[in-house]
Amino acid sequence: MFQNFRLTMAWLHTWFGLVLGFVLVVVFFFGSLSVFDREIDRWAIPETRFAPQPMPSFDKMLLPVFQGMKPDRAALEDARGRVNGVLPEQLPMRRWGAYTTHRDPVLDMFVEFGLPNAKNPDDAVFGIRTIDPRSGASLPDDRLKVGSRFFYPMHYSLHLEWLNLGYWVVGFAALVMLVALVSGVVMHRKIFREIFTFRPRKHTQRSTLDLHNLTGVVALPFHFIFALSGLVIFGGIYFPVTHSQLEPLHELHEVQEAKALGLPAKPAGVAGTLVSVDAMVAEAQRRWAAKGMAGEVGFVAVQHPGDTNAYVSVYRAGTDRVTVMGEGIHFKAATGDVIHMDPPATVVAGINDFLTGLHLQHFRHWLLRWFYFMGGMAGCVCIATGFIFYVEKRKRQHARQGVSASRWVDGFAVSTVTGTLIATLGMMIGNRLLPDNLPARGDWEQYIFWGTWVMAFAHGLWRTAPVAQARVAPAWREQCWAVAALAVLAVLLNWATTGDHLVRTIGAGYWPVAGVDLVMLAGAALAVLAVRKLKQREPVASAAVVSSGTEAARA
């Protein structure tokens, strides 16, 4: 089919990257934003703009909240079709959990409720609440955590929940990305030279390819590790052996493990008591300190609450190591006695935990967090320049042949690259403009995001029509202007609606909000710079089109 292996890899790199590149831009961009998801939450919900807090007292603050929590209404309605008969009004509580990190001012709490007579015995619904750990007050249920509850899930699921479709699309895109990385290395034999090769003053095709190679090579290890670790994290979805062929063996293993560790897998059905969880947390911290470990508590869970088989699990926060959680200590709920201490992970489990923690990056390292952000953005630039190179290389040939492929690739590229930015900024602006007392406020913010993206998509397809005649499309320049204007508007609206302008936030050292504002302003500056570069290249590109047309007429 091809003359040599290198040409085969070039074909593979081009077409795999082109087809799945549109998904990868979204994954990379929202993955970059997810590095600072908690900080974006602070920007989006002004009531949470205070210093990070430690895990509060379980006995005094969390216990009453857990006891009063109810299932999410939408989840409850959805569950009615998954049970045999009528769903009881009072659902049994299976598990309580409270989670925080070193970046969280607020505390996330959840309750898992069992479904009696469920068609799937393991089926459950959840109740979720976010509280101010200083007072125990709950945040309104309709406040969307834009960073952690929208941008972050967009990164790995595209919000396509039906049959886990989004997970499969992203997983396939990650696999294709690994193929593209390997084939790209094979294509570029002088890979180290390309780290130092960027000729911005050359014609668009040459400078774009240089930038594509540069961003791909510099961030190559980052891109490879993150594509691989993302596949590892969701391996249970892609290969669900524990809930298919091996389900009976999996259930037997759980029962045997519970007996060996003393951690009951099922409730006994007899009412039990819960002694002071604060005393258990103090004991866990004492044991961690004796081993020279940091004692921040990241996760506290109560299994089978209100039952004689209930036990409490206390986990160390992932601030001083790569793995997200570890050193769990489990206590008998009725007495407070230690039942089990998690042993060191096996080699296989340790590798899995390391790759998961490396991908999620919950440990305390701000410089590395910024490297993650820049690596993700480099991935966006690499893919975007790949689209542009494809169009620039082929648009004149396609115009002569009457083929519109380049036009459609350019239209989808604009709608995916700058369109994603416009939709994101539109959501941030909507977050500042929507009334606080608007019912289902979080849903409206999501409607704004999708609606803005649809408009950017329509504009991108419309304004790239000149590419079909090998001319310069104005879509990129116009959408860059939109990005710049929307970014500045979002910063100004944050100031107008909360009073937290940059002088105040920087002066107070409150970097979660100041950082979001500064990144948006930096994005606006880069968008204006892109507009200037595009305007400078338009006369050159138009002259090239005229010259090409003249030569074709002479021929």
What is the tens place of the pLDDT at every residue in 509-518?
A: 999 999 999 9
In a domain, 18, yes or no: no
- Distance in angstroms (rounded) separating the CA atoms of residues 512 and 498: 14
pLDDT for position 554:
46
What integer pLDDT is reported at residue 550 of this predicted model?
46
Mean pLDDT of the chain: 87
- Total tally of structural domains belonging to the chain: 2
**Is residue 116 located within the same domain as residue 250?**
yes
Residue 529 belongs to a domain: yes
What average pLDDT does the segment 256-262 reach? 74
Would you say residue 17 lies in a domain? Answer: no
Residue 212: closest CA among 359, 13, 406, 32: 13
Rounded to two decimals, the pTM is 0.89
Q: Please answer whether residues 177 and 28 qualify as being in contact, where contact means their C-beta atoms are separated by less than 8 angstroms.
A: no
What CA–CA distance (Å, rounded) separates 51 from 58?
Answer: 20
Model pLDDT, residue 198:
61
**pLDDT, tens digit, 9 for 90 and up, residues 218-254:** 888 899 999 999 998 888 888 876 666 666 766 666 6
Q: Exposed, middle or buried, 182 (CB in 10 Å: 0-12/13-18/19+)? A: middle
Residues 355 and 239 placed together within one structural domain of the fold: yes
Banded model confidence at residue 350, pLDDT cuts 50, 70, 90 = confident
Residue 63 belongs to a domain: yes
Q: How many other CB atoms sit within 10 Å of the CB of residue 370?
A: 13
Identify the domain boundary among 360, 390, 425.
Answer: 360
Name the strand (E) or helix (H) holding 224: helix 220-233
Cα–Cα distance, 389 to 394 (Å, whole number)? 9
The last residue of a domain, from among 345, 360, 375: 360
**For residue 546, what pLDDT is reported?**
45
Residue 25 predicted with pLDDT over 80: yes
Range in 109-113, 146-150, 178-182, 541-545 the model is least confident about:
541-545
Residues 255 and 355 in one domain: yes
Residues 312 and 443 in one domain: no
DSSP state of 138: B
Residue 297 contacts residue 285 (beta carbons within 8 Å): yes
The answer to the question of residue 87 being in a domain is yes
Residue 35 amino acid letter: V
Q: Tell me, what's the pLDDT at 78?
A: 84
Which one is predicted more confidently, 4 or 294?
294
Does residue 124 lie in a domain region?
Answer: yes
d(C-alpha 367, C-alpha 356), whole Å: 19
Q: Residue 309's pLDDT band (boundaries 50, 70, 90)?
A: very high
Mean pLDDT check: name the lowest of 7-11, 19-23, 358-362, 491-495. Answer: 7-11
In a domain, 455, yes or no: yes
pLDDT, tens only, 193-223: 666 566 666 666 767 777 777 788 888 889 9
Mean pLDDT, rounded, for 377-396:
89
Helix (H, G, I), strand (E, B) or coil at 545: helix
Whether residue 245 lies inside any domain: the answer is yes
297 pLDDT more than 50: yes
One domain for residues 148 and 253 = yes
Question: Which pLDDT score is estimated for 553?
Answer: 41
Alpha-carbon distance 379 to 375, whole Å? 6
Residues 244 and 96 in one domain: yes
105's tokens: 């001012």
* Residue where a domain terminates, one of 360, 395, 418: 360
Question: SS3 of 337, please?
Answer: coil
Q: How many residues does the chain have?
A: 555
Q: How far apart are CA 273 and CA 308, in angstroms?
A: 7
Arithmetic mean of pLDDT, 37-41: 96
Instruction: Determine contact, residues 503/432, Cβ cutoff 8 Å.
Output: no
What is the tally of helices (H) and strands (E) in the chain? 18, 7
Whether residues 306 and 428 fall in one domain: no
In angstroms, the CA 6 to CA 204 distance is: 25
Q: Is 456 found in the same domain as 547? A: yes
Instruction: Looking at the structure, tell me whether residues 412 and 347 fall in a common domain.
Output: no
Cα(320)–Cα(364) distance, integer angstroms: 6
- Both 516 and 432 in one domain: the answer is yes
Does residue 257 sit in the same domain as residue 111?
yes
The residue range of the domain holding 52 is 48-157+232-360
| Coil, strand or helix at 264 | coil
Please state, in angstroms and as integers, the Cα–Cα distance from residue 392 to each residue in 75, 170, 375, 461, following that order. 49, 28, 25, 17
The pLDDT-based confidence of 520 (bands split at 50, 70, 90) is: very high
Place of tokens 């469920």: 118
Which tens digits make up the pLDDT trace of 431-456? 999 998 898 899 999 999 999 999 99
pLDDT score, position 552? 43
Mean pLDDT of the 46-65 span: 94
- The side-by-side arrangement of strands in the sheet containing 338-341 is 124-131, 107-114, 93-99, 297-303, 311-316, 326-332, 338-341
According to the model, what pLDDT value does residue 551 have?
Answer: 45
Domain match, 112 and 252 both: yes
- Of the two residues 292 and 552, the one the predictor is more confident about is 292
**Contact in structure between 39 and 516 (CB atoms under 8 Å):** yes
Identify the pLDDT of residue 185. 74
